[in-house]
């Protein structure tokens, strides 16, 4: 029997960005411990218990638990890979904008503070932007007093860097 495979999407095979904060690293470790601990052990016990019922073709509960166990194992592998490749963001005190810095900018008469992190930790509502986003990429490497022009649709928006922490 042939296993169905999905057509790879636009982002299939792209590894998540390795730049994460220490807080995110610890969060991933805690999630891994939870998955490898009680979640995985409970799923294994349930698979063994349901396997005793015999006929797998008619055992829907077995199929469901087996799928859940596969999902847990896939998540464990993904988190282990991410932790293995992780690069901890450790912002240095510098006058140049880098990953992890808080950057105060003035745009359109308003002052905003952005933190630049990796894509795994972005949260636009809290002004946490990715270094791969248009604004984040434009700010990286700039210094206090620099003006960054960012083209948004047909408009050019100016951001003046006031402070880098």
Helices then strands (H, E): number in the chain? 4, 7
Nearest to 24 by CA among 113, 93, 117: 117
Instruction: Quick: pLDDT tens for 36-78.
Output: 988 888 988 888 888 887 766 777 888 888 899 999 999 999 9
| C-alpha of 143 from chain center | 27
* Both structure tokens of 110: 């308003």
Domain 102-164 fold is Chitinase A; domain 3 (3.10.50)
* Both structure tokens of 51: 């396997």
List the chain domain ranges. Answer: 19-88, 102-164
CATH architecture for residues 19-88: Orthogonal Bundle (1.10)
Alpha carbon of 8 to those of 5, 13, 78, 146: distances in Å?
A: 9, 8, 18, 42
- pLDDT category of residue 91 using cuts at 50, 70 and 90: confident
Nearest to 20 by CA among 68, 92, 83: 83
The rounded mean pLDDT for the chain is 87
Nearest to 115 by CA among 19, 18, 15: 19
- pLDDT given at position 49: 85
């Amino acid at each position: 029997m042939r296993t169905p495979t999905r057509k790879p999407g636009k982002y299939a095979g792209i590894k998540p960005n390795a730049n994460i904060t220490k807080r995110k690293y610890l969060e991933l470790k805690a999630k891994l411990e939870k998955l490898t601990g009680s979640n995985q052990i409970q799923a294994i016990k349930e698979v063994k218990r349901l396997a005793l019922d015999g006929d797998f073709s008619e055992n829907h509960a077995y199929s469901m638990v087996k799928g859940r166990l596969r999902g847990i194992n896939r998540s464990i592998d993904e988190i282990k890979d991410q932790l293995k490749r992780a690069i901890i963001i450790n912002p240095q005190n510098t006058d140049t904008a880098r990953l992890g810095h808080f950057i105060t900018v003035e745009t359109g008469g308003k002052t905003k503070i952005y933190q630049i992190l990796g894509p795994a930790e972005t949260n636009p509502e809290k002004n946490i932007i990715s270094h791969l986003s248009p604004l984040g990429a434009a700010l990286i490497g700039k210094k206090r007093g620099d003006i960054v022009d960012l083209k948004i649709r047909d408009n050019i928006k100016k951001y003046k860097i006031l402070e880098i922490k």
